[in-house]
Amino acid sequence: MCKAPTSQSRPHGGACVLASLDCYGQRSPKTATTAGSAGVPPRLGAARRRSCAVFFTLLAAPALAAENVAALLKEADAYRLPAASVRVETQVDLYRDGKFDKERLYTVYIKPGRRSLVLMKSPSEIGQKVLMLADQFWLLMPESQRPLRITAAQKLLGEASTGDIANMTWSEDYDGKVAGEVDCPPPPADFPEMAPPDKPRRCLRLDLTATHTGVTYARVGLLLDKASHMPVKADLYVGSGKRAKEAWYAPKMVGGHPRIMAMLLLDDIRPNRRTVIHYRSIVAKAAPDEFFNPAALVRNNLAGW
């Protein structure tokens, strides 16, 4: 039986250099070449190759796991955003004790580089704007010439925060690991937009940690459908480690492709409230770069946008 490779092991010219690997009771030479080479029995060469394969597989495992999570998040993001630059017509409905309370309407422009612009369209908020540039958020009021700094956690309506509306991706803000595989949970009964599956499904559980300080949630426990990698549910945690909300994602066929067209937010502190975010339309459209400047937005009412 071969001993585990030591820290002195390294690849060299296509062979594995093992300074002190004792295989089959023999002291190894400095370099194990292909089986049958001079002075190295075929059996010994095969053992060395197996040891090298295990050793370098273990070395590569963390990098491969990180790469797999990055790929999974990009696939999950594609169910929410079909293009890099989009316009999203958003409706947020708030329910209290099972009854509809109020709604708000927003037009959201999202561009690469973690840039978003939220235009408020409800009569009580018309003219207000929220600008997101990476970790920075500003609220612009129509009667003020001074942008106000806010945070991603600033509430807009119900449990919908600024970050929930302005940011619709995970791949730019989180990394983590695949923590395991579980049965996909059934959707809440009071979320008719998300129909129960025809048969039981398996989900991948991803444990995600924020890579930026300005995001809404410090940690996310994300469930993805194992077969399609579509988002199913997320547990959303704040910096203290406490779970703040749970989110559910409802797909709908749009243009022959499944898209996430609704999200349910449930608050752990106020269980009598639920907030549903409807994405009434998501189309590829790039807003001009000059819109993503707080000083320029003060002077522009963006009429027609």
Task: Choose between 157 and 29: higher pLDDT.
Answer: 157
Q: Give tens-digit pLDDT for 127-163.
A: 999 999 999 999 999 988 899 999 998 988 878 999 9
DSSP assignment letter at 105: E
Distance CA 149, CA 162 (A): 12
Identify the structural domains of the chain with CATH numbers, from first to last.
86-298 (2.50.20.10)
pLDDT at 48: 59
Task: Give pTM, 2 decimals.
Answer: 0.77
Q: What is the mean pLDDT of residues 39-58?
A: 49
Chain mean position to CA 290: 28
Neighbours of 275 (CB within 10 A): 24
- Asked if residue 302 lies in contact with residue 287, where contact means CB atoms within 8 angstroms, the answer is no
Q: Is 56 helix (H, G, I), strand (E, B) or coil?
A: helix
pLDDT interval class at 180 (50, 70, 90): very high
Residue-averaged pLDDT of the chain: 83
What is the Cα–Cα distance from 215 to 192, expressed in whole angstroms? 29
Rg (CA), the chain: 26
Comparing CA positions, the residue from 280, 277, 284 lying closest to residue 110 is 284
Which one has a higher pLDDT value, 300 or 69? Answer: 69
| Longest Cα–Cα distance in the chain | 87
- Tens digit of pLDDT for each residue in 222-257? 999 999 999 999 999 999 999 999 999 999 999 999
Per-residue model confidence (pLDDT) at position 269 = 85
Q: Which token pair is 67?
A: 């790469």
